[in-house]
Amino acid sequence: MVFFLTKRLIQSVFVMLAVAFLAFSLFRYVGDPVSQMTGVETSVEDRERLREDLGLNDPFVYQFVRFTGDLLKGDFGYSYRTRQPVAEMIASRIPATLELGLVALMISLLVGIPAGVYTALRPRGFATQTILMLTLVGVSIPTFVIGIMLIFFFGVQLGWLPTFGRGGTVSVGGWETSFLTIDGWRSLILPALTLGVYQLTLTMRLVRAEMMDVMQSDYIRFATARGVPMGRMYFRHALSNTMVPVITIIGLQFGGVIAFSIVTESVFQWPGMGLLFLESIRFVDIPVMGVYLVVIAFFFVLVNLIVDLLYVLIDPRLRISDVS
Amino acid sequence: MLRVENLTVKFPSRFGDFTAVQDLSMTIKPGEIHGLVGESGAGKSTVGAAIIGLLQSPGYISDGTMMLGDTDLRGLDQQEAHRLRGKRISMIFQDPQTSLNPLMRIEDQLVETILAHEDISAAAAKSRAIDLLEEMGIKDAASRMQSYPHQFSGGMRQRVVIALALCTNPELIIADEPTTALDVAVQSQVLDLIRRLAEVRKVGFMLITHDIGVIARIADTVTVMRHGKGIESGPTAQVLGNPVHTYTKQLMAAVPPLDRKIDRFMVPEKDDIVTPSMNSGAQAEAWLLSGTKSDPIGLSLSDIDVTFPGVRTSIFRKPDPFVALSEISFDVRPGSVMGIVGESGSGKSTLAKTLTGLVKPANGTMTLGSADLPGGKTRARKHPSRQLMQMVFQDPFSSLNSRHKIGDILAEPLWLYGLVKDQKERQELCADMLGLVGMPPEAINKFPHQFSGGQRQRIAVARALLARPKILICDEPTSALDVSIQAQLLNLLKDLQKAFGLTVIFISHNLSVVRQMSDDVVVLRNGRIQEKGPSEQVYEDPKADYTKRLLELTPTMPSQWMS
């Protein structure tokens, strides 16, 4: 198992290196950094000096190594647009996106898993058919339409919930959280719902399919034949056996939620990383885009590592070292 | 104790109700082992499922009574039925690999079952579980109980399954093919255990199996089933030793005996008998003869080792290779049948793969006729052995491409090896070949799913023959088939072998079948040859202890019953 983890860690390093290379190429070759930084009136000599100072004349490999080294030290460079350090800009946006993603994930799990189990156990019931139809609608409608519809009903028509921004946030050790104020929660509900609906339907359908599969298996038939109580059979025996594929997909999806919350963030003007990314695209703010790429890749890698660890926790067969 | 009368189970379908079990009656007394024997589709498992109340939907019991003691099993509502399961009736399934929840410790599964039915403390349940496992023959049960199912071997797992079925002291246990997935040695231990439990604990067993040898060995009474009906019923010695019904007689005749070699099997009459085809396969026979009879060739192996890379568990240490075959040497005489027997994991299938060039041996040489036979990928795509050696696989359901018509499947070797260039001629030859293996020639326009397992295996044999092979490798060709179908296929293989002078390598775990087929035999265990020699000699006077034990433990019928 230690070997398995080490292998995964080494693979992760290579993934991160590849992404860093992409970010570096973006920075170095999409447009000329020097002309991005200077104005029209800068002289040719000044430009050359700047080019030399920035090390842009150094060999390619050397530049890439320096770029990666800077990333590791936490030196992410400066934004072309705001002239602020990119690290600060991203750090100030991470809490908003992470909290949004987490709540969306919670909604999808807390509703999706029970709904999946229910619809698997009563595949022909009226409620099941209704739920399945609704989720089909949920998957088919694009995220931004759901967001706008939610804003229209709950924000505009009913006036119950705010339609943009994070509302009241409290700073806990530099982390701006909306979990500690009622206002913050009120602002969180609509965007989190919007972001979570797709995940929810996916989780539900996956749990349902896996659960129906597991319910046909020999060990469930054997458990039934020896009279294990129904509740225990559904949740202890069947549900835990559906978890490995479900966790894989949820993990991948969570990475996706963090990465692609762009649409939701822009509909709700949610001050997260997605919104920052959109602004950066508009101003061709390449350093920010490059770092965004690296940060998102880091989240993906991290989530997948956690998923791998969870596999081992769930399935004893993967703990190779203790086979007797 | 259990009294079943006129049980009828139906499965409604679009084409009317299908009657899976019809008018079946039986009784099982405490401590009695009642065998339920029949071929696939006879409705044996449905009887078991009906009694324990686990009929697959949409099946339902349309008629009959089922009484367990004073309880009317048909009168129970769902909750009462569920409470009765485990408490009074329990069940053992075929495959111990899949009947335990892989994610839960043995202890949790045992304790939860006991607590579900009895109002005792968790500690008491645990100590009962330990006692029970010890009784089942699992040593050091208190600590072994902490393990997960995958940490037990197949036989141990089946003991755990039996412990689970027993842990609430049920009156009746329905054992559905409890030893079919086990090797003979383990099977024999599990059967002994069942026998002992019936005697000591007075548990009634309903033993569902297709294996008449198993029934003969431990069942007190037996019911023979066919097409959902009870054909014959009574004490085992009477039913099997002196069968009254024709079907029972035919079934008995189809069982290959272990203690002697017979020339041909009696084949039970089938309802769906293959209509004698217009063309007898004469054309195909002549075509094959012109290519094969001329000179049969032999095959020899010397010092073959096959290893597979082990599972890596550390970055620094190279994993130990897994040795699948070690120092395998034997000669197959031209035109003879070489039998290869061994339990699961003995390397039988690896040997077949090595011969066909799917696996490369680490050491050793193979010789085909007088030419050297390269192994693995060093064997060229166009190497003549690829045509000369053909294979028949175990599972006829997955070895034929389900999207190809039978005609296309059969014609493949003809164009692949450039044997028959003309498309029309190919189709004629294929149709005629089907006649030769006892199938109607119209079958060439059908798809594999339209045929039964036995028919598909005939198609597989026909396909192999159309390559005009000199060597036929059969890897467990009959183990997925019922005895009567097996008898037909074995007869067919014998006929073809004789007619075309084929050299056959016949691989099986079933010692009786190998005895019937082979001239010489090799006994494999853990990748090593335990014994080899002319098969009559090996079977009559085995030298290796392992062979002796295998022969002893294989459940058979007393020979006086078989005549």
Digit-coded pLDDT (tens) for B308-321: 887 766 667 777 88
**Interchain CB distance below 8 Å, A320 and B313:** yes
The whole-angstrom separation of Cα B91 and Cα B94 is 10
Q: A207 and A253, same structural domain?
A: yes
**What pLDDT sits at residue B278?**
47
The whole-angstrom separation of Cα A195 and Cα A100 is 8
**What pLDDT sits at residue B273?**
45
Q: Measure A77 CA to nearest chain B CA, in Å.
A: 37
Name the domain count of chain A: 2
Q: Decide which of B178 and A284 is more confident.
A: B178
Residue B558 has pLDDT above 80, yes or no: no
Q: A95 and A36, same structural domain?
A: no
Q: A224 and A301, same structural domain?
A: yes
Q: Is A195 part of a structural domain of the chain?
A: yes
Topology of the domain covering B282-310+320-552: Rossmann fold (3.40.50)
**What pLDDT sits at residue B235?**
94
Taking only the tens place, the pLDDT of each residue in B189-206 is: 889 999 999 999 999 999
Q: Is A219 part of a structural domain of the chain?
A: yes
Tokens found for residue A202: 């996916």
Boundary (domain end) residue, out of A12, A38, A73: A73
Query: What domain range includes position A21?
Result: 2-73
Q: A267 and A137, same structural domain?
A: yes
pLDDT band at B233, cuts 50/70/90?
very high
Nearest CA in chain A to B312: A3
Going by the DSSP 8-state scheme, the letter that residue B240 receives in this structure is: H
**What pLDDT sits at residue B174?**
94
Q: A159 and A195, same structural domain?
A: yes
**What pLDDT sits at residue B279?**
53
Nearest CA in chain B to A3: B314
Q: Measure B424 CA to nearest chain A CA, in Å.
A: 46
Q: Which of B379, B381, B389, B331 is nearest to B357 (CA)?
A: B379
pLDDT tens across the length of chain A (324 residues): 677 778 888 988 999 999 989 888 887 777 777 777 777 777 888 888 888 877 777 888 888 888 888 888 888 888 877 888 888 888 888 888 888 998 999 999 999 999 999 999 988 889 999 999 988 887 888 888 888 888 888 888 888 888 778 877 777 777 878 787 888 888 888 888 888 888 888 899 999 999 999 998 889 999 999 989 988 999 889 998 998 888 888 888 888 888 778 888 888 888 888 888 888 888 878 888 888 888 888 888 988 888 888 888 888 887 765 443
Beta pairing partners, B472 = B390, B504
Q: A243 and A210, same structural domain?
A: yes
Q: Are B504 and B335 in contact (CB under 8 A)?
A: no
On average, the pLDDT of chain B sits at: 88
**Interchain CB distance below 8 Å, A232 and B147:** no
Beta pairing partners, B229 = B22, B226
Q: A65 and A99, same structural domain?
A: no
**What pLDDT sits at residue B272?**
45
Q: A277 and A312, same structural domain?
A: yes
> Alpha carbon of A274 to those of A22, A168, A266, B16, B364: distances in Å?
19, 20, 8, 60, 63
Contacts of B200 (CB under 8 A, 6+ apart): none
CATH number assigned to the domain comprising residue A178: 1.10.3720.10
Q: A67 and A97, same structural domain?
A: no
CATH 3.40.50.300 segments of chain B: 2-253, 282-310+320-552
Going by the DSSP 8-state scheme, the letter that residue B363 receives in this structure is: E
Q: Measure B151 CA to nearest chain A CA, in Å.
A: 6
**What pLDDT sits at residue B1?**
86
**Interchain CB distance below 8 Å, B313 and A321:** yes
Q: Are B392 and B457 in contact (CB under 8 A)?
A: yes
Which residues of chain B neighbour A316 with C-beta distances below 8 Å? Answer: 102-103, 148, 150
pLDDT band at B277, cuts 50/70/90?
very low
Q: A166 and A32, same structural domain?
A: no
Sheet with strand B520-525: strands edge to edge: B389-392, B471-475, B503-508, B337-341, B520-525, B528-534
The whole-angstrom separation of Cα B87 and Cα B70 is 15
> Alpha carbon of A270 to those of A146, A166, A208, B308: distances in Å?
16, 6, 33, 56
The whole-angstrom separation of Cα A7 and Cα A312 is 14
Structurally, what CATH architecture does the domain formed by B2-253 represent?
3-Layer(aba) Sandwich (3.40)
Q: Are B546 and B185 in contact (CB under 8 A)?
A: no
HSE, side-chain direction, 13 A CA sphere, residue B527: 15
Interface confidence, given as ipTM, is 0.79
HSE, side-chain direction, 13 A CA sphere, residue B200: 10
Backbone angles phi, psi at A101, to 5 degrees: -65, -40
Q: Select from A225, A237, A315 the Cβ nearest to the Cβ of B90.
A: A225
Which positions in chain B have a beta carbon within 8 angstroms of at least one beta carbon in chain A?
52, 54, 82-87, 90-91, 93, 95, 98-104, 112-113, 116-117, 147-148, 150-151, 161, 164-165, 167-168, 311-315
The whole-angstrom separation of Cα A266 and Cα B39 is 67
Q: A32 and A129, same structural domain?
A: no
Spell out a b/e string for A8-22, using b for 16 or more CB atoms within 10 Å of the CB, else e.
Answer: eeeebeeebeebbee
**How many residue pairs from chains A and B have C-beta atoms closer than 8 A?**
90
Q: Which of B100, B89, B98 is nearest to B161 (CA)?
A: B100
**Interchain CB distance below 8 Å, B101 and A223:** yes
Q: What is the mean pLDDT of residues B358-367?
A: 91
**Maximum mean pLDDT: which of A156-160, B25-29, B91-95:** B25-29
**Interchain CB distance below 8 Å, B91 and A317:** no
Residue B559 has pLDDT above 80, yes or no: no
Nearest CA in chain B to A237: B101
Taking only the tens place, the pLDDT of each residue in B414-423 is: 999 888 888 8
> Alpha carbon of B382 to those of B359, B366, B385, B386, B453: distances in Å?
17, 18, 8, 7, 32
The residue with tokens 């109980």 is B145
Q: Is A263 part of a structural domain of the chain?
A: yes
3-state secondary structure B218-233: HCCEEEEEECCEEEEE
**What pLDDT sits at residue B263?**
79
Residue B271 has pLDDT above 50, yes or no: no
Nearest CA in chain A to B101: A219
Q: Measure B342 CA to nearest chain A CA, in Å.
A: 25
**Interchain CB distance below 8 Å, A6 and B315:** yes
Nearest CA in chain A to B314: A3
**What pLDDT sits at residue A324?**
36
Q: A68 and A103, same structural domain?
A: no
Angle between helices A273-282 and A286-314 (to 10 degrees): 150
Residue B4 has pLDDT above 90, yes or no: yes
Spell out a b/e string for B69-99, using b for 16 or more CB atoms within 10 Å of the CB, else e.
Answer: eeeebeebeeeebbebbbbbbbbbbbbbbbb
**What pLDDT sits at residue B219?**
94
| Residues of chain A by 3-state class (helix, strand, coil), percent to 5 | 75, 0, 20
Tokens found for residue A35: 């002309």
Residue B266 has pLDDT above 90, yes or no: no
Q: Is A17 part of a structural domain of the chain?
A: yes
**Interchain CB distance below 8 Å, B147 and A324:** yes
